[in-house]
Structure 1
Amino acid sequence: MVGEPTVADAIERIYQSLQADNVDIDMHIATLKAALTRAGLKEAVFDPARLVQNNRSGRKLMQAYFRQRGVAVTFSPS
């Protein structure tokens, strides 16, 4: 397991990707999915304050996009 990103690492990369107009977002989602599986977690928790589109429609779009790729997303209270 050495060198495999943690859930926190994968989430951080997704924040960076979102800031960079979604560059490599699908790859980062796949990395996150694998990290969640290794950690035995069912969902990823994001801080809505760090999202580019921190509004209801932006969060719903993100949840739907990630869900299509097998990752459940929730948002921490801001």
Structure 2
Amino acid sequence: MTELTVSDAINRIYESLQADNADIDLHIVTLKAALARAGLKDAVFDPAKLVQNNRSGRKLMQAYFRQRGVTVKFATS
């Protein structure tokens, strides 16, 4: 199995979000492993690429990922 970079793992999460959260938990685990390999603590997402880019959607995403051990931050323009 090929180890993904943090960027690749985040892109797979964007794709999953577009596909109604298909395999989202698997992609979160992959992202968590990629962050650990890279020595990073936070995953930074572009809010413009989110399906539900409002405060409620972002907070829900942060809470869901936090329950799975990944801290989510959002890039600012």
**Which bin holds the TM-score, normalised by the shorter protein?**
over 0.9
Give identity over the alignment, percent.
79
**Partner in structure 2 of residue 68 of structure 1:** 67
Tell me if 1:55 matches 2:51. no
Equivalent residue, structure 1, for 2:33: 34
Unmatched runs of 5 consecutive residues or more in structure 1: none
Q: How many residues align?
A: 77
Tell me which stretches of 4 or more aligned residues in structure 1 moved more than 3 Å.
none
Deviation at 1:5, TM superposition (A): 0.3
Consecutive unaligned residues of structure 2, counting only runs of 5 or more, are: none
Give the deviation of 1:3 after TM superposition.
2.1
**1:24 Cα deviation from its structure 2 partner:** 0.0
Whole-Å Cα distance in 2 between the matches of residues 3 and 29 of structure 1?
A: 16
Superposition CA RMSD, Å: 1.0
